[in-house]
Structure 1
Amino acid sequence: MKKKEIQMSRMWKYFVDATAEIIEEEGIDKITIRKVADRAGYNSATIYNYFTELSHLIFFASMKFLKTYTDEVAVYMEKGKSPIDKYLLAWECFCKHSFKSPQIFHAIFIMDLGEHPEDLLTEYYKLYPNDLINIPEGLKPILFERNMNKRGLTLLQAAASEGNIKEENINAINELTILIWQGMLSNILNNRTHLDIEAAEKITMNYINEIVRNQHLFDFQKPFLG
């Protein structure tokens, strides 16, 4: 790595680490450019030499809290004997961690990050390679994918190739499971539910299981509206 790249990487980490400290102490909603700059020991203008917008800084800092999930999801999925089992176990782990830390998962998987958000995950793991330790090679392509619509497709396509689900139902199943999760996460974030975390996880997984296990009972090709 060239001297200039090393310097940029070091500065980049100063700001990310400062933002992560603020998240841990005050919460994501309390982050401002000025606070991050003060914490890192630089002026606000310097931050924009490394990050085009605040959402990117929040995204990278939030990623530092994701390792507990990425370590555990591999353990969860190892229990599955089939692609369908692994898909459901991955969702179970994802719900467990996202409902415990809704702001973190919203910042990583839902928040508007402008153009080319898919490049941000690659950039993060390039600078924090230790976060990939203990992650099986087969799981890395999924973890490098921020787009929720693409994360589950690999396992669903494998399930279809084994005849466990219909090929024509893949996109509908994928979209419905994501919408169910997003709805519950939104309720938790906005204090629109009285459910505790365990109950929210159980209800969400009940719906997801129902759609996946009983997909033959649904006519996904028939429009729901109109």
Structure 2
Amino acid sequence: MFSLTNKKIQKSRMWKYFIDATVGIINEEGIKNVTIRKVADRAGYNSATIYNYFSELSHLVFFASMKLLKGYTEDVAKCMDKGKTPLDKYILAWECFCKHSLQKPDIFHAVFIMDLGDQPDELIKRYYEVYPAELINIPEDLKPILIERNMTKRGKSILQSAANEGQINENQIDDLNEITILIWQGMLTNILNNRLDYQLEEAELLIMRYIKQFVDSAKTTNNSVH
């Protein structure tokens, strides 16, 4: 039992060495310039050692990007706390998500869009196993959402709560969820490809305008805006 505990501690320590090295490279050179060799050199190990802990480079970039999302995870909890209803929280969560993601498009792409191979949904859970302290100040009802990488599932859980309270029509949940995600992905893609013709603040407002329009269209009669 003792040896197993020691092995787990050693593995977590090695993970942190490589993740911290990757974070340093991202901050200094950008996410596109991360390589296994650079990470190994920075951490003081050879490249082969990294593959004992990470099956591919994308996973290492993912974990480093998760660490760089800390500001967002702290901010979204505060933002959602201001909402009185599930639908309020849904809008506030998207506002926070848009603000942070448009400022760090490469990081959010690495976490939520990038191809991570097999079992990508397990990676966030693994991350918080290594960095459990990052969830300490997160409300219990928000933790299941934050440890979910799949954006469809993240949004659907809040919309289901809104439907349960009669705020939106249940048969609109899937369409509304998919449309809002596609709007955000389209804008993020434009930013990553340098095809944005306006400022980030304008892009954020545009995304939220569309999201709010579709949310209003999904509201039940009693909750419709007059």
Query: What band does the TM-score fall into relative to the shorter chain?
Result: over 0.9
Query: CA offset at residue 194 of structure 1?
Result: 1.9
Partners of 1:9 and 1:162 lie apart in 2 by: 42
**How far does the alpha carbon of each residue in 1:150-205 deviate from its partner, in whole angstroms, 9 at most, with x for none?**
00111111111122111111000000000000000111111111221111100000
Q: Residue 103 of structure 1 aligns to which amino acid in structure 2?
A: D
Equivalent in 91, 109, 113 of residue 106 of structure 1: 109
Partners of 2:195 and 2:64 lie apart in 1 by: 27
The percentage of counterpart residues that share the same residue type is 65
Partners of 2:129 and 2:114 lie apart in 1 by: 22
Partners of 1:188 and 1:43 lie apart in 2 by: 35
Equivalent in 190, 195, 215 of residue 192 of structure 1: 195
Structure 2: stretches of 5+ with no match in the other structure: 221-226
Q: Tell me the TM-score normalised to structure 2 length.
A: 0.93
Partners of 2:12 and 2:168 lie apart in 1 by: 45
Name whichever of 205-214 and 158-167 sits farther off.
158-167
Taking the TM superposition and a 5 Å limit, the aligned residue runs for 1:50-65 are 50-65=53-68
In the other structure, the counterpart of 1:71 is 74
Equivalent in 197, 216, 222 of residue 213 of structure 1: 216
Taking the TM superposition and a 5 Å limit, the aligned residue runs for 1:1-226 are 2-215=5-218
Partners of 1:178 and 1:201 lie apart in 2 by: 14
In the other structure, the counterpart of 1:224 is none
**How far does the alpha carbon of each residue in 1:51-101 deviate from its partner, in whole angstroms, 9 at most, with x for none?**
000000000001111111111111111111111111010000000000000
Name whichever of 54-63 and 4-13 sits farther off.
4-13
Is the CA contact 2:20–2:64 (under 8 Å) kept in the aligned structure 1? yes
Name whichever of 178-187 and 188-197 sits farther off.
188-197
Q: Residue 50 of structure 2 aligns to which amino acid in structure 1?
A: I
Partners of 2:219 and 2:87 lie apart in 1 by: 14
Partners of 1:178 and 1:195 lie apart in 2 by: 20
Partners of 2:211 and 2:29 lie apart in 1 by: 33
Partners of 2:80 and 2:11 lie apart in 1 by: 37
Query: CA offset at residue 125 of structure 1?
Result: 0.6
Partners of 2:147 and 2:139 lie apart in 1 by: 12
Partners of 1:127 and 1:216 lie apart in 2 by: 40
Q: Residue 192 of structure 2 aligns to which amino acid in structure 1?
A: L
